[in-house]
Amino acid sequence: MSEKTAGQATAQTVGQTTGQTTTQQGALKEQEKFNARRRGFGPGGGRHGGGGPGGPLGGMIGGDKPKDLKGTLKKLLKYLGSFKIALIFVAIFALASTVFNIVGPKLLGTATTELFNGIMGQIAGTGEGPNFSVIGTILLSTLALYGIASLFQFIQGFIMAGVANKISYRMRRDIDAKIMRLPFSYYDKVPTGDVMSHITNDVDAINQSLSQSITQIITSVATLIGVIVMMLSISWQMTLAAILTLPLSIGVIGFIVSKSQKHFGAQQRYLGKVNGSVEENYGAHSVVQAFNGQARAQEDFEENNTTLYKAAWKANFLSGLMMPMMNVVGNIGYVIVCIIGAWLAIGGTMQVGDIQAFIQYMRNFQQPLVQAAQISNILQQTIAAAERVFTLLEAEEVPADVPGALAANPADVKGAVTFDKVRFGYTPEKVIIKDFSAKVSPGAKIAIVGPTGAGKTTLVKLLERFYDVDSGSISIDGIDIREYQRSSLHDIFGIVLQETWLYSDTIAENIRYGKLGASDEEVRAAARVAQADYFIQTLPGSYNMVINEEATNVSQGQKQLLTIARAVLHNPRILILDEATSSVDTRTELLIQKAMDNLMVGRTSFIIAHRLSTIKNADLILVINEGDIVEQGTHEELLAQDDFYAMLYNSQFEVGGE
């Protein structure tokens, strides 16, 4: 299996494990999310903007400004540090290209002077006219200069594009690796869309900025310095006049940037909202249809889209004013330069060609200022994107294994599990498990029942050490699970969740995910135990049929059978079934139940169930309410007590009877 597929699988397993609900509860949650977004929370609302495209800066939330400009810049330079030699060559070629471009107008001015003097001498009868041989040589030299400058520009652009893409590749690789090391608590706090925008939009923003802005900075600075030097070589008086227009140019640029910045920020913010709105309504399309929410969804979209249109129009209008305003300032400078140049030419201290060359330099003098304004804005927002990436890369990871952590060998694990005064809460303010203690014998079949929110699935997450307990301990065969290597601990467990997860690959590969490297015969044997072999044989392509991206070409029940086959192939010592049969019909449930009974022989098994009729034969039933065990015993013993469990059990049949 490819690293991409494995990473995708792990990420989706994270999302799957953090919260399991029934199909109906899932629909209600989707509707709840929809309503929450309308109130201004969640993806697309006021709190989190969905990422989304929209140019190189589309991934940033609201066009954020960096909070730690200096620190983030240092970290970004560390990424660039591996490419010092390439960047040196980029700087050399960029400077050389700029120098050749700057010398060009001076040569053209020489050609103009030669042509003008020749014509004037011919008119006055003091010469033979223009020397086209000299003029041709000058023009060919100028053409060669511009050709070499273009070649150097191509080379530095080629090198910089390679550097930028390698940095993007490294960043995406680091982010993907980081995602695998993040604790479950991170995903509880950060929206999935925000995590995804780091690896897509933020990295794209950095890529485009590095490939374009760095060379622009070099060429702009070199052009500005070079042009001033060349203008001084022509006339210090005209250069002084040109520099006097500099404060006016800077003032115009500063005014426009200050006015347009907030609109660009609003544009990015509402672009995220529009993208989030579309993504959310598409993902919950069936819920929107079922609750007749089309009008509300469209109204919400129209509101965000209208605001986006207004912000984008203002931003682009103000940004579009920059060049016309700079042209006005430039024209004022041209008038002043032409007046001074004419006066100097009349006095005989300046040639006509020098005036023509100076006017060309005047045009090149203002261009770096406009580029600097644009680059400063882009770099500021690019640093903000980099800051978001580095914030993710520096996020607290899953705690490291304790020194000398044990490598669990599943073959040696007997399966005795002890919960000793376990206390846990996802946040300090809300404790889910208060004081949970229980002892489970090796090979026992333990059912965990209780109302929604009692802490059943939380116990499973603690057992697999997706979260660490706040106090107390959980041990396997007398060894605290915190003393095991986390990766080897997971090898002990096999888990089948209510919310199925399959990825786009063949059926055989989806089953083989439980034991990478398993043979085709092992895959088929696992499918037979899980009662999945029969339906697989009826599908086009059988085990080689590719499941599509949304896994819509197999039914919900078939998906559940495949995930059970995956767990069978894993051959765990401790089995966890979290509502594993809730999505299949009654007949298939009986078949799965029989297969599971065979699979659970000799293995410690934890079964979370809402349908209490499915756990009658459990060795021990733990009844949980508000994070504590309120009752425990066999099915018959608990019914005889005629208390909480009996109430839950009888209520299901009362509902059925009604």
Q: Which residues of 502-513 are buried (b: 16+ CB within 10 A; e: fewer)?
A: bbebbbbbbbbb
Q: Which two tokens stand for residue 650?
A: 């009888």
Question: 630 and 644 in contact (C-beta within 8 Å)?
Answer: yes
Q: Which residues of 314-347 are buried (b: 16+ CB within 10 A; e: fewer)?
A: bbeebbeebeebbeebbeebbebbeebbeebeee
- DSSP, collapsed to helix, strand or coil, labels residue 596 as helix
Closest listed residue to residue 199, CA positions, set 167, 168, 239: 168
Nearby residues of 534 by Cβ (< 8 Å), 6 or more positions away: none
**Strands 417-424 vs 471-476: parallel, antiparallel or unpaired:** antiparallel
CA 650 to chain centre: 48
Backbone angles phi, psi at 633, to 5 degrees: 155, -175
Question: 195 and 107 in contact (C-beta within 8 Å)?
Answer: no
DSSP one-letter code for 411: G
- DSSP, collapsed to helix, strand or coil, labels residue 169 as helix
Query: Mean pLDDT of residues grouped by 10 in the chain (658 residues)?
Result: 38 35 37 37 34 36 57 80 85 86 80 77 71 84 87 88 86 86 78 73 81 79 84 83 79 76 71 72 72 80 85 81 77 81 80 78 75 70 80 81 78 86 84 84 86 79 86 89 84 80 86 88 88 86 83 78 86 82 68 72 82 78 82 87 85 54
Relative orientation angle of helices 69-81 and 132-181, to the nearest 10 degrees: 100
pLDDT at 61: 36
Cα separation, 252 vs 282, in Å, equals 44
pLDDT at 582: 64
pLDDT digits (tens, 9 = 90+) for 268-325: 667 767 776 776 777 677 777 777 778 888 888 888 888 888 888 887 787 777 778 7
pLDDT at 367: 75
Nearby residues of 466 by Cβ (< 8 Å), 6 or more positions away: 17, 184
pLDDT at 64: 53
What's the longest Cα–Cα distance across the chain? 130
pLDDT digits (tens, 9 = 90+) for 595-609: 677 677 778 888 887
pLDDT at 581: 66
The counts of H helices and E strands in the chain are 23, 10
DSSP one-letter code for 406: B
3-state DSSP of 305-339: HHHHHHHHHHHHHHHHCHHHHHHHHHHHHHHHHHH
Question: 578 and 567 in contact (C-beta within 8 Å)?
Answer: no
Amino acid letter, residue 204: D
Question: 638 and 621 in contact (C-beta within 8 Å)?
Answer: yes
Q: Which two tokens stand for residue 39?
A: 């109130």
- DSSP, collapsed to helix, strand or coil, labels residue 569 as helix
φ/ψ region of 171 (left if φ > 0, alpha if ψ in -120 to 50, else beta) reads alpha
CA 474 to chain centre: 35
pLDDT at 10: 34
Using only the alpha carbons of the chain, give its radius of gyration.
35
Residue length of the chain: 658
Q: Which residues of 440-459 are buried (b: 16+ CB within 10 A; e: fewer)?
A: bebbbbbbbbbeeebbbbbb
**Strands 471-476 vs 433-440: parallel, antiparallel or unpaired:** unpaired
Which helix (H) or strand (E) segment holds residue 243: the answer is helix 236-244
Q: CB atoms < 10 A from the CB of 89, how many? A: 16
Q: Which two tokens stand for residue 259?
A: 């006015």
Relative orientation angle of helices 294-320 and 23-39, to the nearest 10 degrees: 40
- Alpha carbon distances (Å) from 143 to 130, 148, 151, 360: 20, 9, 12, 16
**Strands 445-449 vs 620-625: parallel, antiparallel or unpaired:** parallel
Cα separation, 294 vs 580, in Å, equals 34
Nearby residues of 31 by Cβ (< 8 Å), 6 or more positions away: 284, 287, 291, 293
- DSSP, collapsed to helix, strand or coil, labels residue 578 as strand
- DSSP, collapsed to helix, strand or coil, labels residue 370 as helix
- DSSP, collapsed to helix, strand or coil, labels residue 400 as coil
H-helix segments, 394-485: 456-463
Q: Is the dihedral of CA 154, 156, 159, 164 positive or negative?
A: negative
CA angle in degrees (0–180, nearest 5) for 404-408-414: 135
The full DSSP string for 488-543 is HHHHHEEEE-SS----SSBHHHHHHTTSTT--HHHHHHHHHHTT-HHHHHHSTTGG
Q: Which two tokens stand for residue 585?
A: 């019909």
Closest listed residue to residue 167, CA positions, set 195, 209, 213: 209
- DSSP, collapsed to helix, strand or coil, labels residue 349 as coil
pLDDT digits (tens, 9 = 90+) for 155-188: 988 888 888 888 888 888 888 888 888 887 787 7
Backbone angles phi, psi at 84, to 5 degrees: -60, -45
Question: 101 and 150 in contact (C-beta within 8 Å)?
Answer: no
pTM score, whole prediction: 0.64
Cα separation, 209 vs 217, in Å, equals 11
Question: 589 and 581 in contact (C-beta within 8 Å)?
Answer: yes
Q: How far apart are the two ends of the chain, measured CA to CA in Å?
A: 50
pLDDT digits (tens, 9 = 90+) for 189-222: 776 667 777 777 788 878 887 777 777 888 888 8
Question: 300 and 39 in contact (C-beta within 8 Å)?
Answer: no
3-state DSSP of 598-649: HHHCCCEEEEECCCHHHHCCCCEEEEEECCEEEEEECHHHHHHHCCHHHHHH
Question: 65 and 380 in contact (C-beta within 8 Å)?
Answer: yes
